[in-house]
């Protein structure tokens, strides 16, 4: 019966990809295999001028108070748009409290940050600028700096029709660029599309563990392998002064210790893992889930011991590597900035 269900699932997935392929022309940016067209907001539609401006702003350290930090400092292309550290480092060497999530495929989510405190990419884009630990600036100072650069004034005029731009224009430009940072055409995507040699036998076994036994897709579902919802996994809950996650935003008891479910796209390239960067490898992540997390008063009901065999754990970690994709690597950091 399970084999029949799996074959039906594969057929449905292939049909979905075919339908998505027919819709690719509806997207203003190239869409890798396995993804759906990016939906740009009505109040911030895509334009090439806006994306090019946003890319420069994303990499420009002049947006920080001391010209030392850019968005790319914590979300670097060479590290799959993370920084490869347990927690991020801001101006003056200050350490943040959480691991930097990847920018890859953030276009497929509304709420941003581990605690979902930003309701859009636009809101997220300007948050770090005014954070005293991250970029240590003010929005007014950012706009003043940019208005003092003739090259930027010209680019804002071209993208938005005005040189008298605001922080909202800065946010829209950066968010437009970030929505072009995509990952698809992974071994998994090619396998689903019918190329059976795309994944190894071990990865195919791991895929079955992922969907059938461990049921990881209860939270890591859909084209981007995330439900975009929040869960308490117990991470860090055994430490003094535990990070309470979304509870600090909503003050809702149901949100005590919960964090946003990240995408698994390119997960093998974005170590370390969890909101605090406490797990260094995918093997450690699999072990953590296998033991059922860390007990606490709000542990998610889905987090229970999995009782996986050593072979199942190995194949599951191998399957996660099959989610490494393509698309974002084509974006090259600017070598020159407006003057």
- By annotation, the residues acting in catalysis are 134
Quote the CA–CA distance of 192 and 175 in Å, as a whole number: 30
Which residues make beta-bridge pairs with 184? Answer: 326
- 205 contacts 211 by C-beta, under 8 angstroms: no
Quote the CA–CA distance of 62 and 59 in Å, as a whole number: 9
- Which residues have C-beta within 8 Å of that of residue 72, sequence separation ≥ 6? 58, 59, 333
- 255 contacts 246 by C-beta, under 8 angstroms: yes
**DSSP characters for 210-272?**
IIIIS-GGGTS-TTTT----EE---TTTTSTT---BTHHHH--GGGTTBEEPPP-TTGGGS-S
Quote the CA–CA distance of 224 and 202 in Å, as a whole number: 22
Tokens of 60: 């420009």
Quote the CA–CA distance of 311 and 318 in Å, as a whole number: 11
């Amino acid at each position: 019966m399970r084999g029949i269900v799996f074959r039906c699932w594969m057929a449905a997935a292939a049909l979905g990809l075919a339908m998505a392929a027919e819709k690719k022309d509806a997207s203003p940016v190239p869409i890798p295999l396995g993804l759906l067209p990016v939906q740009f907001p009505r109040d911030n539609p895509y334009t090439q001028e806006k994306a090019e401006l946003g890319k420069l702003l994303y990499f420009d350290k002049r947006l920080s108070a001391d010209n030392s930090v850019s968005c790319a400092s914590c979300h670097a292309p060479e590290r799959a748009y993370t920084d490869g550290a347990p927690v991020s480092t801001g101006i003056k060497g200050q350490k943040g409290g959480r691991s930097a999530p990847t920018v890859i495929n953030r276009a497929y989510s509304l709420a941003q940050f581990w605690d979902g405190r930003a309701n859009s990419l636009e809101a997220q884009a300007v948050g770090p600028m005014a954070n005293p630990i991250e970029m240590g600036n003010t929005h007014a100072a950012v706009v003043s700096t940019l208005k003092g650069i003739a090259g930027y004034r010209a680019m804002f005029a071209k993208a938005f029709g005005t040189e008298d731009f605001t922080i909202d224009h800065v946010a829209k430009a950066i968010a437009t660029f970030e929505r072009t940072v995509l990952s698809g055409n992974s071994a998994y995507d090619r396998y689903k599309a019918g190329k059976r040699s795309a994944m190894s036998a071990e990865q195919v076994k791991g895929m079955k563990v992922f969907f059938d036994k461990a049921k990881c897709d209860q939270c890591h579902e859909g084209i981007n392998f995330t439900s975009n919802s929040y869960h308490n996994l117990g991470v860090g809950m055994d430490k003094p002064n535990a990070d309470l996650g979304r509870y600090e935003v909503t003050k809702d008891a149901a949100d005590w210790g919960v964090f946003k479910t990240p995408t698994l796209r390119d997960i093998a390239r974005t170590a370390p893992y969890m909101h605090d960067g406490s797990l260094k490898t995918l093997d450690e992540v699999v072990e953590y889930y296998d033991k059922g997390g860390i007990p606490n008063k709000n542990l998610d009901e889905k987090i229970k011991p999995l009782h996986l065999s050593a072979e199942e754990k190995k194949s599951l970690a191998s399957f996660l590597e099959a989610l490494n994709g393509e698309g974002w690597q084509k974006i090259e950091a600017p070598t020159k900035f407006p003057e």
